[in-house]
Amino acid sequence: MVKFLRRYFLTGLVVLAPTVVTLYVVWWIFTRVDNLIGPFQKRYPLIDIPGIGFVVVLLLILFTGILASNLIGKRVIALGEGVMKRLPLIRRIYTAVKEVSAVLLSEDNTAFQRVVLIRYPHRDAYAMAFVTKDGSDYFNDLVGDELINVFIPTTPNPTSGFLLMMPKRDVVALDIPVEEAMKMVISGGAFTPPALARWTTQRS
C-alpha cells in the first residue's frame, strides 16, 4: 500500500510541479510589475483596478519602443543616455545593464551560438558550454593562440556561470541545439536531448 501511494504520489508530483512552478513565477512577475504604480493607485483610488499596473507598464514599454524607432525619439533617448553616462556611480550600472540587455534581448543577435564540450574544471572532467563569440585579436596575440569565448552555466540556474577563453583546438563541437542543451543544464543532466537519444538508439 505504501509503495502504491508513493508511486502515484511521485507521478502526480512530476506532472504538477512544472505547472505549479510556472504559474507561481508568472504570478510573482505579474504582482511585482502590477505594484509598480502602487503609489498612484493610493492617491487616485479610481485606478485601483487589479492588473492595471501591469497593463500600464506594458504600454509604457511599447510606447518607448515606438519612440525609439523615430528620429525625434532617438534624439531624446540619446540625450537621456548622455545624462546617465555622466553620473559617477550610475553610469557604470547603466552601461553594464545596457550591454547585457543588448546581447540577451536583441532579435538580430543570439547570445549562444552553438554548444561545445570542454575540459573543465580539470583535464579529467568535461563540461558542456556555449560559444558566445570568437576571441579578440588582442587576446589571441597576447597568448599566441586562437581563442574562443565560451560560457559555462551553473546548474540549475543558468543565468550565472563562468566565462572562459579557450583555445579553439581544445573545444569539441556538439550536434545539439542550444535550447535542448540548456534544458539539460537546468535539469542537472537528468534531461536527455532528443539528438543524443537518437544517437544512442542508432548505435545500439
Helix H or strand E segment including 102: helix 90-105
106-155 pLDDT tens trace: 555 567 889 999 999 998 999 999 998 888 899 999 999 999 999 999 88
CA gyration radius, the chain = 24
**Structural domain boundaries enclosing 71:** 41-105
Q: CA–CA separation, 27 vs 142, rounded Å?
A: 49
pTM confidence score: 0.54
> Is residue 23, in this structure, part of any structural domain at all?
no
74-112 pLDDT tens trace: 787 788 888 888 888 777 777 777 766 665 555 555 678
Do 90 and 122 have their domain in common? no
Last residue of a domain, one of 63, 88, 105: 105
Q: CA–CA separation, 63 vs 32, rounded Å?
A: 20
> Is residue 15, in this structure, part of any structural domain at all?
no
Q: For residue 85, what is its C-alpha cell? A: 553616462
Residue 68, CA atoms < 13 Å, CB-side half-sphere: 10
Do 82 and 47 have their domain in common? yes
> Is residue 203, in this structure, part of any structural domain at all?
no
Q: Would strands 126-134 and 147-153 be described as parallel, antiparallel, or unpaired? A: antiparallel
Residue 39, CA atoms < 13 Å, CB-side half-sphere: 1
